[in-house]
Structure 1
């Protein structure tokens, strides 16, 4: 008689990646525990009383960190608790290697998961294509007809979140992904001007890209209600695009799934059909 698979925990189960991971796991027939501050299973990084209940009985977990300054510390404690409690696989949504200074440890959240005692897989995606269409400041820019980023002529290999979810589901349910760090990108490098042009063609609207200076972008974003610390972080990230820090294609989708990643044009065409960019 076959043993019933243990439930799979998905932190951030209502987020961009999390809800897609939940959907794929359910399609595969797995019992899924979708956890978030307001989700079916309550989970809060700042409330350790919520940790053990969401981990109870699960066999694998999809992790997204808290994004706070103490994220690595919390993630280390949670990952070790998970491994001690019998969770066999941990899949962390991370990001490409951000190095702020030579003295700063690189991606401590990844280290926290690697040292948990469970089998681990790291997902290291490029900028999400869906940032232009789902619940974000950038979707509003597209709806307004002007994409304003201080990225100059810099390019980025935008990745479709559907691909991230496919890789996550595979890593959570299949053998062969343990110990892998998958760099995930789309198949092309695109400037923000090219992004605006693609969306304009698909929607039949006038959408332009304005290359702002970091100072001008800060004023523009602050006027539209973005907190100053968030604007400063965006300027840092946009600066990296401008200087070409991550202007390389990655092969993580190919290695994990044995297929090519989705093209940005496919994402734009599918999204335009929903009418989301028409305000």
Structure 2
């Protein structure tokens, strides 16, 4: 029987949510094992032989599949991992899932069918996509290009996700709960960029082009074809309007409203990450 002295394995340890989960668990004094290709023991989704050592003695696992649960073979891979985790004596899995992705929901169902205690965090797009990758370079450069037809999105703070995940990994209150996690309001990408521009006192141009032209631009920018296809898939699927409604998952899990996009923008602008204000 695993005890509180057994480690918690956090997969995707360098990711937006996983890194925050690691920090929270360590700050609370929990024994944590990072799961990544550079960690020891090494973990690689594409090499199941690496799973055994990573799972050894582990009591709970945070599963954040890279690059996304919608990629071909992902559902089969995480399903095999659930089985390996159960056989290794893991008691609990917290799964980061994607809102509005059919493949992600298949991965959720596979987890729910196991004997493990589970918590599912079905999240919308992160605030941090504007500051930790994806759009950061373009925002700093002062011009961002987006494909047409993107619906408003109720962006979520990765810190809210990490807070729920850390609680779920270390206690039973969130067992067998599926939380749909969004922010408190839906914004268009143009509205989000406008808020960033206002907070930094910078002009950030926002050019809207066709999805075909956007796909071509990704290719010309040197993005690997599989990554470019993933981005286009997510834009076409997740941002087609199905995810625009706000959900109450953060309130249900934490008993408080989600962190606001405006507060995130104010904090990040003050850090200087997006560039200095005009003098």
Please list, as runs of the form range in 1=range in 2, the aligned pairs for 1:48-87 lying within 5 A after superposition: 48-66=48-66, 67=68, 68-87=71-90
Distance in 2, Cα, partners of 1:19 & 1:215: 34
Displacement of 1:17: 0.9
Residue number in structure 1 paired with 2:187: 190
Q: Secondary structure at the match of 1:122?
A: strand
Residue number in structure 1 paired with 2:24: 24
Distance in 2, Cα, partners of 1:106 & 1:241: 11
Q: Is 1:98 matched up with 2:84?
A: no
Q: Secondary structure at the match of 1:123?
A: strand
Residue number in structure 1 paired with 2:38: 38
C-alpha contact (below 8 Å) 2:8/2:33 kept by paired residues: yes
Q: Deviations over 1:174-230 (max 9, x none)?
A: 222111111111111101111111111111111122221112212322222223343
Which of 204, 210, 213 aligns to 1:216? It is 213
Instruction: Give the TM-score of the pair, scaled to structure 1.
Output: 0.90
Q: Secondary structure at the match of 2:15?
A: coil
Q: Structure 1 pair 242/120, CA: closer, same or farther in 2 (3 Å)?
A: closer
Displacement of 1:260: 0.7
For structure 2, the 5+ residue unaligned runs are: none
Residue number in structure 1 paired with 2:263: 266
Instruction: Give the TM-score of the pair, scaled to structure 2.
Output: 0.90
Displacement of 1:128: 1.0
Q: Is 1:161 matched up with 2:164?
A: no
Distance in 2, Cα, partners of 1:215 & 1:113: 36
Count of aligned pairs: 271
Q: Structure 1 pair 186/245, CA: closer, same or farther in 2 (3 Å)?
A: same
Q: Secondary structure at the match of 1:107?
A: helix
Displacement of 1:151: 4.0
Q: Secondary structure at the match of 1:156?
A: coil
Displacement of 1:106: 6.6
Q: Structure 1 pair 111/140, CA: closer, same or farther in 2 (3 Å)?
A: same
Q: Structure 1 pair 29/50, CA: closer, same or farther in 2 (3 Å)?
A: same
Q: Deviations over 1:126-155 (max 9, x none)?
A: 011101111x23111111212211144621
Q: Secondary structure at the match of 1:158?
A: coil
Residue number in structure 2 paired with 1:116: 114
Distance in 2, Cα, partners of 1:106 & 1:50: 23
**How well do the aligned residues superpose, as a CA RMSD in angstroms?**
2.0
Distance in 1, Cα, partners of 2:100 & 2:223: 25
Distance in 1, Cα, partners of 2:254 & 2:23: 17
Distance in 2, Cα, partners of 1:227 & 1:73: 23
C-alpha contact (below 8 Å) 1:150/1:242 kept by paired residues: no
Residue number in structure 2 paired with 1:142: 139
